[in-house]
Amino acid sequence: MSDIHLKTSGGASALIAPDCGFCCLSWKASGVERLHLPEAADAFRRDVKTGGLPLLYPYANRLRDDPDPLWTDDPLVKRDGHGLPIHGFLLRFSRWTELFSEETKARACLDWGAHDDLMALFPHAHRLEVAYELFETRLRVTTTVIANAGVDVPISFGWHPYFAVHGRPSGCRLTFPNLKHVLLDDRCLPVRDGDRSLSLTGLDNLDGELAGRAFDDLYLLPGEGSSEFEIQDDHNVLRLSFGAPWSCVQVYHPEDSDFIAIEPMTAPGAALSDGRDHPILESGSTFSAVFELRVS
C-alpha cells in the first residue's frame, strides 16, 4: 500500500504510511521536521515500535493483563517489558479500506467486524475512520468511531505524538495547563483507591525548561474547553490543542532525549481492564475526537 504525501502550496508537508497503521511519519512546517522517529524510516517500518504520530487503538497505553481468552502469541498484540499488552493492535495494521487523499487531506476506514483476528481481540464490531488535514502551519487529526453493527462499543483509544526537540536542551521550554496527576504504580498502571476511583496526587504545574527533567506520567485534563500544550525550542513554538471528548493526557520524555510525547487519550490507561472511566458508544451512535498541532 503506497505512502500518502500531503503538501501545501507554501511548502508544509506530511507523510502518512497506511502500512504502519495509517501513522504520520513526517510533518514539516516552516521548513522544520516536527515529528520524531526512533530509527530510520525503513527500519521503523519493519519494527513494531511507536514513533511519528501513531494511533493507539482500541486502547491507549497498557492493560493490566490479557482478557479471557488470553492473547498468547497473537502478532497484533504488542507487549511492554513487563509482558503487559500496550498501545492497541493497529501499529502495523495495513488492511484499511476507502482510502482517500488529495493535496492536503487523507482519510482511511476500517470495518472492524470484517476482520476475525481483530474481533477475537476486541469483540465489538464497528467502523473506524481516521482523517488528516494539512495547513501551512497546522495539522488536524480526526478520529471517528461509528457503532453501526448493532452493539455498544467501549471507547478507550488515544494518539501518541512524538515531537522532535531541536536545538539546545536548555532552550526548550514547556507551557502546559494545570493538570490533575494520576498516581501510577511501578508498571506504569493507574493506582485506584478503595472505591476504585483513580488515585490523584493533586494539580501539577509543569511549566519550565525541559532540560534535566523526565516524564512518564498520566494526567486528567482540567475540565471543559480546549487545553493547549506548548513546546518552545530554538526554532519556534509548537502547540497541541484538544478538549472534550479527550479526558486524559500521558506525557513521556526520557531525560536528555530529543523528543517529548504528549498523548491525548479518551480514557486513562487500563480503563478497559478496570471497566471504568471510559465512554461507552451506544449502538447507532457516533464518537468523534479532534486534536490539532500548530507551529507559530
Q: What is the mean pLDDT of residues 164-174?
A: 85
Q: What is the H or E stretch that residue 120 is in?
A: helix 116-121
For residue 266, give every residue at least 6 positions away whose Cβ sits within 8 Å of its Cβ, in sequence order, or none.
60, 155, 156, 157, 158, 245, 246, 247, 248, 278, 279, 289
At 95-140, the pLDDT tens digits run 999 999 999 999 999 999 999 999 999 999 999 999 999 999 999 9
Per residue in 3-13, pLDDT tens?
999 999 999 99
Lowest mean pLDDT among 25-34, 54-63, 216-225, 285-294: 216-225
C-alpha cell at 210: 525541559
Q: pLDDT exceeding 90 applies to what percent of the chain?
A: 88
Distance of CA 123 to the CA centre of its chain: 22
- Residue whose C-alpha is closest to residue 28's, from 15, 12, 41: 12
The amino acid present at 102, given as its one-letter code, is E
Give domain limits for the chain.
4-295
Share of the chain above pLDDT 70, in %: 99
What CATH number should be reported for the domain whose range is 4-295?
A: 2.70.98.10
CA-nearest of 155, 163, 136 to 248 is 155
pLDDT at 74: 86
pTM: 0.96
- The Cα 42–Cα 198 span in angstroms is 40
176 CB neighbour count, 10 Å cutoff: 20
Residue 88 banded pLDDT, cuts 50, 70, 90? very high
